[in-house]
Structure 1
């Protein structure tokens, strides 16, 4: 519960209005805490599902309409279209098996790191709010 409260305390000012000096200060000084929290959430999701998600880039081909400009003998341009095959890159998500014991160790390590960073993140948020008070 405390972890969610700390995360909300950091996330709410960032969502309220982007780009103020206070928000930039908070973002700059809590980036490691937010990264560790994100990784921890991902690992906990992996453990709950029993597998992880990964992404890969896949090149696919599809039939499309291509255009070309042809000039007549007077130099006037005429645009014509024709059917052609074009490559495009698609991102594909797929399941990856996990080792539950290794994921649990990873989760425990991330939880310890998050707890260690939480107090400094709260102090940074307080210092940024004091240094850059926002008027409403």
Structure 2
């Protein structure tokens, strides 16, 4: 019963997750500005810490309970569990040294790019609000 309700509500949830036309317009027209802002924040964090963060995938082995299918004397299937080893992947963060001169130059370039994009992004937001006014419901 619950599964049927969930499947019935799934299309509605997907439509709501996509956002309103105004939100989609704003998101589409400000994506570069948001990307530059995100990169600028990352570079500023690197400079403040003195190092950058990188991620790598690490495979490790751990004990788990694995299902095993067996048949009894009457031919009925029985499932039981036994201990087994499985590979599990994790993401590990590690520090990477930075060159402060390069990071400073990168920060300055990103700040300049963000400043140049800010007026375009503001105009795009205003245009999206004019094209797709949201009604109070």
TM-score (ref. length: structure 1):
0.85
- Separation in structure 1 between the aligned mates of residue 109 and residue 94 of structure 2, nearest angstrom: 26
Deviations 1:86-108 (A, max 9, x none): 00100000000000000000000
- Separation in structure 1 between the aligned mates of residue 89 and residue 75 of structure 2, nearest angstrom: 37
Give the aligned partner of residue 135 of structure 2: 135
In the TM superposition, residue 18 of structure 1 has moved relative to its aligned partner by 5.8
Give the aligned partner of residue 67 of structure 2: 67
Give the aligned partner of residue 37 of structure 2: 37
Long gaps (5+) in structure 1: 1-16
Give the aligned partner of residue 26 of structure 1: 26
TM-score (ref. length: structure 2):
0.85
RMSD: 1.2
Paired residues in the alignment total: 120
- Separation in structure 1 between the aligned mates of residue 53 and residue 59 of structure 2, nearest angstrom: 20
- Separation in structure 2 between the aligned mates of residue 18 and residue 68 of structure 1, nearest angstrom: 42
Long gaps (5+) in structure 2: 1-16
Q: Which ranges of 4 or more aligned residues in structure 1 deviate by more than 6 Å?
A: none
